[in-house]
Structure 1
Amino acid sequence: MQSVNLLDCLLSVDRFFLTTNFVFNSIRKSINSDTFAKLAQNKNLEIFSIEQMDPFWEFYLSLQGSLSIEECSVLFSAQKMQAVLLSSDKNLIGFAKKNGVNSFSLLAVLKCMEKRNLLSPNEVATKWSVLMNKNKNLYKEECRKKIIQ
């Protein structure tokens, strides 16, 4: 994410974002300190702490290891708060849809940003190509087809 500044792109959109402390702490390990500092200071981001919620642990155990704790925390939060889930993980999006959570892939978000002239087609293709090479969970074939369009 740090090399394509996708996080910066998403946070520049005038919307409120919610994440969980599990995801926030995981992000801290994977992005550069400048981007993390911007993320931590973003007024449109709320970090939701759920590790002490019994219903979360019940939900996590019910999935029998199908999702990581970070993925499960995001899905649980989106479901409880009736929020839209954004992810580049096809497995998580599949679980979100099965659980009635409105969800979008990051490719769909980038394509929407392109349609609204927030990003050029070349910027979308470049950002997504770099991200595809780094993330094994992306819809690779779907992405290649849409990037070429």
Structure 2
Amino acid sequence: MERFIVHEEEARKWLTDLVVAHEIDMSFGEMGSERSADSPPIGMAWRPMDPGEEDSVFLLVRAAQEVGVVAGSEEMTITFEFIDDGDQGVFRWLLDVVAPTPLKVATMSEAMAVLGEPEASGVEAAMAILHEAVQTANLLVQQLSDHVAARKMPGHGS
């Protein structure tokens, strides 16, 4: 099965362009902005675990796959999901399989405080998120594959 990967150089360039566009938009009040509403609003000081940044993480991971800086199987995507627990929130990763049949595999929930590299900001924080998304996607794919293989073993049903 094809593994998920981060195209390092392309990802850094893409993220740098996003940060510059965001900083220019913030300086000029977003007049004449060419950024789409689905573009992750990541600036130089962006920190994914800051309150209100959950949607930015979701948009970052989705956009990275759409532009191809995070690549994997055409039948699968990795998605970030935030869960409001009334405190600082928790998150989990979802592996969405579309073929051969739709399936969603999820990680256990974790505290937002452990997402990515907690001390990083801007491009470095975003790169940490992309690496975590890819690492988790590959782990979920492997776990799913191991589960299917174990079920095919004699004595485990079909």
- The normalised TM-score by structure 2 is 0.28
Larger C-alpha radius of gyration, 1 or 2? 2
- The normalised TM-score by structure 1 is 0.29
Structure number with greater CO (CA < 8 Å, separation at least 6) is: 2
Q: Which has the higher strand share?
A: 2
